Amino acid sequence: MKNTNQTYFLLLLLICFLFNCKNEKKTAPKEEITEVTEEVVEMPVNVINVVTRAMDFQSVDTIPSGWNTFKYENLSNETHFFLLDKYPEGKTAENAITDIAPVFEEGMDLINEGKAEEGFAAFAKLPEWYGDIVFSGGAGLIAPKHTAITTVKLDPGYYIMECYVKMPSGKFHTLMGMAKPIMVTEEDSGNTPPKATVNITLSGVDGITYDKGITKGKQIFSVFVKDQKAHENFIWHDLNLVKLEDYASEDELEAWMDWSDPKGLITPVPNGITFLGGVNDMPAGSTGYFYADLKPGKYAFISEVPNTKSKKLFKVFDVID
Ligand SMILES: [Cu+2]
């Protein structure tokens, strides 16, 4: 009968397939397997999930210290990032609300009213302990409906996870709910950092440099912070990956990257710009990592500080097919 023959043939095929698979595993030389895995960028499995649906950070409250990889899913309709602020002993989210937020609000309101000088002067009211906050990395700017994967090393302590991108009204997301306390415990995660495919050096003196041409496909970028400083807007330099459409304006992007500009860091982002993550502010000497899957096209690395072009903190590059 035709049907029986067909079944028999399929069964034979299945047995052959299973046998072959088994056989291959047994006889494949070890070197060959190692060679294959070296070519492939493996995605991390042990991750801390962070999700934004509106003006929120949904994640666990307590994480181990040491190397941690964050998978930040931005399901909202706005561009966000997250920065991990390590607070000095005894200071908490309550102090952020009472001592810091009002100062930023007052300063920003004055800048928005066109009173830039008075606005900047208002920041003198920041408490002394503000200078003791250690910005400890996090995900760079990430577009709506995109996911950023970032690996950083954290010391034990009390942190605030924050995003200070601004609403169209000029209000910081930090004041809209994007500030979440995270406890980093003494217990070490036991994780090791990933192996980078491209090594970036970030410096306030030499700008952004990297060790090889950037090719399409999955990449793991390491970001070494050679030196660090507060720029004109009090912010340290970080590293963001951006996809630029042909019609995107580099000048508009440069201006947008300064929160102290009345139009800066306000969503929506300039036309033709898609943020793809990166590594947020970290102290000098630190290294962070981020993952990206690149398609051919025009991209840039840029810091979230003013005057990036002249500081060499805005590097445009092509990913060729
Ligand atoms: Cu935000």
At 82-141, the pLDDT tens digits run 999 999 999 999 998 889 989 998 999 999 899 999 999 999 999 999 999 999 999 999
| Separation between Cα atoms, residue 247 and residue 244, nearest integer Å | 8
User: Is the pLDDT assigned to residue 274 strictly greater than 50?
Assistant: yes
User: What confidence score (pLDDT) does residue 21 get?
Assistant: 39
CA of 81 to the centre of ligand 1 (A): 6
CA of 55 to the centre of ligand 1 (A): 6
Q: State the average pLDDT over residues 174-181.
A: 93
CA of 63 to the centre of ligand 1 (A): 22
User: What confidence score (pLDDT) does residue 134 get?
Assistant: 96
User: What confidence score (pLDDT) does residue 44 get?
Assistant: 85
CA of 281 to the centre of ligand 1 (A): 16
User: Is the pLDDT assigned to residue 18 strictly greater than 60?
Assistant: no
pLDDT digits (tens, 9 = 90+) for 279-321: 999 999 999 999 999 999 999 999 999 999 999 999 999 998 8
CA of 284 to the centre of ligand 1 (A): 25
User: What confidence score (pLDDT) does residue 40 get?
Assistant: 73
CA of 177 to the centre of ligand 1 (A): 9
CA of 267 to the centre of ligand 1 (A): 9
User: What confidence score (pLDDT) does residue 58 get?
Assistant: 98
Residues with CB under 5 Å of ion ligand 1 are 80, 163, 165, 173, 178
CA of 160 to the centre of ligand 1 (A): 14
CA of 155 to the centre of ligand 1 (A): 24
Q: State the average pLDDT over residues 223-252.
A: 96
User: What confidence score (pLDDT) does residue 32 get?
Assistant: 41
| Separation between Cα atoms, residue 282 and residue 236, nearest integer Å | 8
Q: What are phi and psi of 82, to 5 degrees?
A: -135, 140
CA of 84 to the centre of ligand 1 (A): 13
CA of 1 to the centre of ligand 1 (A): 67
Whether 203 and 266 have beta carbons less than 8 Å apart is answered as no
Lowest mean pLDDT among 23-27, 52-56, 258-262, 279-283: 23-27
- In this prediction, residue 41 has a pLDDT band, given cuts at 50, 70 and 90, of confident
CA of 202 to the centre of ligand 1 (A): 24
User: What confidence score (pLDDT) does residue 320 get?
Assistant: 85
User: Is the pLDDT assigned to residue 152 strictly greater than 80?
Assistant: yes
Q: How far is CA 301 from CA 94, 135, 173, 246, 257, in A?
A: 35, 20, 23, 16, 12
Which amino acid is residue 34, in one-letter code? T
User: What confidence score (pLDDT) does residue 7 get?
Assistant: 45
CA of 164 to the centre of ligand 1 (A): 6
Residues in the chain: 321
Strand 83-86 to 134-135 pairing:
antiparallel
Mean pLDDT for the chain overall = 89
CA of 228 to the centre of ligand 1 (A): 24
User: What confidence score (pLDDT) does residue 82 get?
Assistant: 97
Three-class secondary structure assignment of the chain: CHHHHHHHHHHHHHHHHHHHHHHHHHHCCHHHHHHHHHHCCCCCCCEEEEEECCCCCECCCEEEEEEEEEEEEECCCCCECCEEEECCCCCCHHHHHHHHHHHHHHHHHHHHCCCHHHHHHHHHHCCHHHHHCEECCCECCECCCEEEEEEEEECCEEEEEECCCECCCCCEHHHHCCEEEEEEEEEECCCCCCCCCEEEEEECCCEEEECCCCCCEEEEEEEEECCCCCCCCCCCCCEEEEEECCCCCHHHHHHHCCCCCCCCCECCCCCCEEEEEEECCCCCCCEEEEEEEECCEEEEEECCCCCCCCCCCEEEEEECC
CA angle 244, 80, 164 (to 5 degrees): 120
Determine how many CB atoms are found less than 10 A away from the CB of residue 1.
Answer: 6
CA of 74 to the centre of ligand 1 (A): 9
- In this prediction, residue 231 has a pLDDT band, given cuts at 50, 70 and 90, of very high
CA of 29 to the centre of ligand 1 (A): 50
pLDDT digits (tens, 9 = 90+) for 130-141: 999 999 999 999
CA of 168 to the centre of ligand 1 (A): 12
Among 172, 206, 188, 186, residue whose Cα is nearest residue 284: 206
The percentage of the chain sitting over the pLDDT mark of 90, rounded to a whole number, equals 78
CA of 144 to the centre of ligand 1 (A): 10
Whether 154 and 193 have beta carbons less than 8 Å apart is answered as no
User: What confidence score (pLDDT) does residue 197 get?
Assistant: 96
**Torsion of the alpha carbons at 263, 266, 272 and 274, rounded to the nearest 10:** 140
CA of 61 to the centre of ligand 1 (A): 19
CA of 80 to the centre of ligand 1 (A): 4
CA of 141 to the centre of ligand 1 (A): 9
CA of 143 to the centre of ligand 1 (A): 10
Whether 170 and 112 have beta carbons less than 8 Å apart is answered as yes
